[in-house]
């Protein structure tokens, strides 16, 4: 994973349970990584409001779990993994709530909960945000954040073949929407 | 990936930055919530663990009570209905599968082989213990995974 190759930023200084670190050390970690985590959450959810919630949840989960962090992965990779799990858990929660509402089309319901702000400034970002969830998740992880299929499949709880199928679909849809499809 | 539109799309994706700053500072809320004492959370976990333990015991008791019923239904009947559903899905999605790139088709074929081989192992185990609830559940899981795989195409 390209982003995961970042070195761990002097972990003892950053560790919140270190004698002189605490919450201020964790704030420094937050400032360093918030752009990466928020960018990932924004692209996975397609919603600024949801992405802000998920970013907060990610850092809270990291704060609680940091004493168990064993530096087997970099902090960036570790935070990304938490962020993906947070987004998927949030999405499952929304889907469950929408299923409970009779006669409501799932996507409509999910879009309402997303806050209807799925309009990032760039055409490409907008096209990505409009992709179906599964296709968008795989495209973001593999196409933008550089995970390989096996890593993305593991993070998303998919089989590798399903992951590839989602990516293929995402790319086809993006090419259509951006007018990149070759004309016959 | 010989299609020039693929390289165009790759170039566009490569230009996207990975970091995006949120429009507002999220730290104050994180700090406030991070400062909540851990005690309550631990108590909640203890309570949840207690409830889970009771649920597990109750479930085991129910399974034991239902063993007789499971013997009547048997895995063969379950298998048959899953097989029908799975074949229907396979027929519906076969066309989509054929449109995927060869390496993706290969990967999906491999995934199917893994699922089906696991199912064959479970069936063998079930032959000597047909009413084993865990094995029956695992068998159902393999069918579910296969149907999910087709649906996800």
Per-residue pLDDT tens digits for B30-71? 888 887 655 444 554 554 555 455 455 445 445 544 554 444
What is the count of residue pairs from A and B with beta carbons less than 8 Å apart? 117
Helix (H), strand (E) counts: chain A: 9, 0
Judge if A88 and A133 occupy the same domain.
Answer: no
Judge if A112 and A124 occupy the same domain.
Answer: no
Average pLDDT over residues B93-98: 78
Tell me the nearest-neighbour CA distance from A39 into chain B, angstroms: 5
Total length of chain A: 184
pLDDT score, position A9: 40
Tell me the nearest-neighbour CA distance from B59 into chain A, angstroms: 24
When scoring B18, B23, B97, B114 by the number of chain A Cβ atoms within 10 A, the one with the most, hence best to mutate, is B18
Chain A residue with CA closest to B2: the answer is A182
What's the CA gap between A131 and A151, in Å, rounded?
Answer: 21
Judge if A84 and A156 occupy the same domain.
Answer: no
- Residue A115 Rama label (left phi>0; alpha psi -120 to 50; beta): left
What's the CA gap between B72 and B78, in Å, rounded?
Answer: 11
CB contact under 8 A, A59 and B12: no
Of A100, A116, A132, the domain-final residue: A116
Q: Are A75 and A29 in contact (CB under 8 A)?
A: yes
Of A90, A116, A142, the domain-final residue: A116
Q: Are B153 and A165 in contact (CB under 8 A)?
A: yes
Task: Report the number of distinct structural domains present in chain A.
Answer: 2
Q: Is B15 buried (19+), middle (13-18) or exposed (0-12) by CB count in 10 A? A: exposed
Of A116, A140, A171, the domain-final residue: A116
**Which tokens hold the place of B67?**
């063993």
pTM > 0.90: no
- Full domain range(s) for residue A139: 119-184
Ordered by start, the domain boundaries in chain B are: 39-151
| CB-CB neighbors (< 8 A) of A39 in chain B | 17-20
**Which tokens hold the place of A89?**
């858990």
Judge if A53 and A135 occupy the same domain.
Answer: no
Q: Which residue shows structure tokens 């998920």?
A: A54
Helix axes B133-151, B38-99, angle to 10 degrees: 60
What's the CA gap between A40 and A34, in Å, rounded?
Answer: 10
Average pLDDT over residues B90-114: 81
Judge if A135 and A180 occupy the same domain.
Answer: yes
Judge if A141 and A74 occupy the same domain.
Answer: no
Judge if A28 and A93 occupy the same domain.
Answer: yes
Judge if A17 and A108 occupy the same domain.
Answer: yes
- The more confidently predicted of residues B61 and B134 is B134
Chain A residue with CA closest to B37: the answer is A64
Give A12-34 as a DSSP string.
HHH-TTSTTTHHHHHHHHHHHHH
Judge if A171 and A95 occupy the same domain.
Answer: no
Judge if A105 and A127 occupy the same domain.
Answer: no
Average pLDDT over residues A67-92: 84
Torsion angle, alpha carbons of A70, A74, A77, A78, to 10: 20
Is B37 in the A-facing interface, judged by CB distances under 8 Å? no
Q: Are A133 and A140 in contact (CB under 8 A)?
A: no
Judge if A19 and A50 occupy the same domain.
Answer: yes
Q: At residue A8, does pLDDT exceed 50?
A: no
Total length of chain B: 153
Q: At residue A10, does pLDDT exceed 70?
A: no
Is A131 in the B-facing interface, judged by CB distances under 8 Å? no
Backbone angles phi, psi at A27, to 5 degrees: -60, -40
Alpha carbon of A57 to those of A9, B4, B66: distances in Å? 22, 40, 42
Judge if A85 and A30 occupy the same domain.
Answer: yes
The CATH number for A162's domain is 1.10.10.10
When scoring B13, B36, B101, B113 by the number of chain A Cβ atoms within 10 A, the one with the most, hence best to mutate, is B13
Lowest-confidence range among A59-73, A111-125, A147-161? A111-125
- The more confidently predicted of residues A135 and A5 is A135
CB contact under 8 A, B21 and A38: yes
The CATH number for A63's domain is 1.10.1740.10
ipTM (interface pTM): 0.72
Q: At residue A35, does pLDDT exceed 60?
A: yes
Alpha carbon of A54 to those of A34, A48, A133, A153, B109: distances in Å? 11, 10, 16, 20, 35
Tens-digit pLDDT profile for residues B96-107: 788 788 888 888
């Amino acid at each position: 994973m390209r982003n995961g190759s970042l070195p761990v930023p002097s972990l003892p200084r950053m560790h919140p349970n270190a004698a002189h670190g605490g919450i201020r050390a964790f704030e420094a970690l937050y400032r360093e990584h918030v752009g990466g985590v928020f960018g990932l959450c924004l692209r996975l959810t397609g919603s600024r409001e949801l992405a802000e919630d998920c970013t907060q949840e990610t850092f809270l989960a990291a704060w609680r779990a940091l004493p168990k962090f064993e530096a087997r992965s970099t902090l960036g990779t570790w935070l990304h993994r938490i962020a993906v799990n947070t987004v998927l858990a949030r999405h499952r929660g929304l889907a469950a709530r929408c299923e409970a509402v009779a006669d409501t089309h799932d996507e409509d319901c999910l879009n309402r909960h997303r806050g209807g702000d799925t309009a990032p400034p760039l055409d490409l970002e907008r096209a990505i945000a409009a992709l179906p969830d599964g296709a968008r998740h795989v495209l973001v992880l593999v196409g933008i954040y550089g995970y390989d299929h096996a890593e993305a499949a593991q993070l998303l709880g998919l089989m590798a073949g399903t992951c590839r199928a989602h990516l293929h679909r995402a790319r086809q849809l993006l090419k259509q929407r951006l007018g990149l499809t070759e004309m016959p | 990936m010989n299609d020039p539109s693929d390289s165009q799309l790759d170039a566009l994706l490569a230009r996207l930055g990975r970091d995006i700053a949120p429009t507002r500072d999220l730290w104050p809320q994180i700090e406030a919530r991070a400062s909540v004492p851990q005690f309550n959370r631990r108590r909640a976990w203890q309570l949840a663990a207690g409830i889970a333990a009771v649920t597990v015991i109750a479930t085991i008791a129910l399974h034991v009570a239902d063993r007789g019923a499971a013997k009547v239904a048997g895995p063969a009947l379950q298998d048959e209905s899953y097989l029908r559903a799975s074949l229907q899905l396979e027929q519906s999605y076969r066309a989509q599968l054929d449109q995927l790139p060869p390496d993706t088709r290969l990967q999906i074929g491999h995934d199917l082989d893994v699922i089906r081989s696991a199912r064959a192992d479970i069936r063998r185990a079930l032959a000597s213990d047909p009413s084993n609830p865990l094995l029956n559940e695992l068998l159902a899981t393999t069918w579910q995974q296969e149907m999910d795989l087709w649906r996800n195409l």
